[in-house]
Structure 1
Amino acid sequence: MMTDINRRIAGRLRALRQANGWSLDRAAQATGVSKAMLGQIERGESSPTVATLWKIAAGFDISFSALLEDAPQADGVLLRSSAGGDWPTDDGSIQVRSLFPYDPALGIEFFVIELQPGACHQSEAHAAGVTEHVIPVSGSLEVCVDGRWHALAGGEGLRFAADRPHAYRNSGREPVLFHNLIHYRQTRPLPCGPAAGAL
């Protein structure tokens, strides 16, 4: 049975391909995700992992959250909750929740992430110009950039260019909760929400 989130991803992926005039073969070349997998995602037959979603977003040159949520309304005040907003994860070791989806006016999206004890999450390079800000809220977190691990305690923060492979690691015995703010260099408006196709 297709879940609501799989239905949204399927619709947005199909709309993105159509907007670009791309075949599944062309989309596979751009994203590094196989034609078979892209077809399964469009039909709602597969739940893509976080890593796969990042590849798709980078290949289409859009924000990560644009695959899953509409852009927030620009009314000046936005109250959001990350409760119950889990997005697809690789193996249950990491939970990704959106607090603020991509805002084209600001060029940012904001996530609340929980990493389980002993877990290490590898992230491939994002699009050129993408910058991440990582701030542990509870527990200690290690972040690897350019092969070097940085230890962060609660209240500390790390900013780095995310257009290179990086990783997050929890060496402790308790889950680590951290905030992840992602900033996109705005060379042109990034499609988001309905721009990727009305669902």
Structure 2
Amino acid sequence: MPPSDIRSAIADRLKTCRKEREMSLDKAALLTGVSKAMLGQIERLESAPTIATLWKIASGLNLSFSSFFAGKAGSDFRQVPFPNDADMAIKVIFPFDAATRMEMFEVTLTNRHHQRSPAHRFGVVEHAVTISGVLDLIHEGRVHRLKPGQAHRFHADVAHQYRAASDTVVFQNIICYT
């Protein structure tokens, strides 16, 4: 999915959510902690959110992360590079499923990228499983170094970080919502 398609998908999802809920930009800003101006710029395709900003929007609007860019179940899921996060790409393995309340991604960090993630809604649990490279998962002040085949599960309702401890790291990220 080219960056312009990602921007359009994010803008469309944000607009649709607000329209369905009859929500103003002011109300969306209050719920997400993202300014009204930034939300408007995202909707008008004048700005692309960072992954951290997109998480704030998803959490504040009680939406899954994958709902902003995932195709339909069973479609060809490709790496999704983010316009403002060139050293991070996400591949949707399983988009959010309301029955299981889960979604699964394959995340690639390059150039020793360090991704900071804001706290998600209360009760969200993440699972990280390293496929290749070395991942430092930083949670509640502790660094969990994960080599290929190693995994870590944690409550993601506090800020956390993913850092490539090697030039490139690929890991699976499973997110469970309450």
TM-score scaled to structure 1, two decimals?
Answer: 0.82
1:106-121 equivalent positions in 2, closer than 5 A: 106-121=100-115
Give the equivalent residue in structure 2 for 1:122: 116
- What is the Cα-based RMSD across aligned positions, in Å? 1.7
Deviations 1:73-132 (A, max 9, x none): xxxxx4x6543x314254312212212111111111111111123321111001111110
Which residues of 2 match residues 153-168 of structure 1 at below 5 A? 153-168=147-162
Deviations 1:118-165 (A, max 9, x none): 321111001111110000000111101101001111001000000000
The aligned counterpart of 2:176 is 183
Equivalent in the alignment of 2:42:
41
Higher strand fraction (1 or 2): 2
Which residues of structure 2 form unaligned runs of 5+?
none
SS across alignment from 2:39:
helix
Relative CO higher for 1 or 2, CA cutoff 8 Å, sep ≥ 6? Answer: 1
Residue type at the aligned position of 2:121: A
Task: Give the CA deviation at 1:33.
Answer: 0.8
Query: What percentage of residue pairs aligned between the two structures are identical?
Result: 43
Corresponding residue of 1:75: none
Equivalenced residue count is 176
- Structure 1 or 2, whichever has the larger Rg, is 1
Q: Secondary structure at the match of 1:97?
A: strand
Contact conserved, 1:71 with 1:102, CA < 8 A, in 2? no
1:62 aligns with 2:55: no
- Scaled by the length of structure 2, what TM-score is found? 0.91
Matched-pair contact (CA < 8 Å) for 1:143–1:149? yes
Q: 1:23 maps to what in 2?
A: 24
For residues 41-86 of structure 1, the C-alpha deviation after alignment (integer angstroms, 9 at most, x for no partner) is 11112111111110110110111011223552xxxxx4x6543x31
Matched, 1:143 2:137: yes
Following the alignment from structure 2 to structure 1, what is the Cα–Cα distance between the partners of residues 140 and 123? 16
CA contact (8 A) 1:94 1:115 kept: yes
Unaligned runs of 5+ in 1: 73-77, 186-199
- Cα 1:146–1:91 change in 2 (3 A) is same
The 1-side partners of 2:6 and 2:114 are apart by 25
Q: Distance in 1 between matches of 2:86 and 2:133?
A: 18
Correspondence for 1:132 among 126, 130, 134: 126
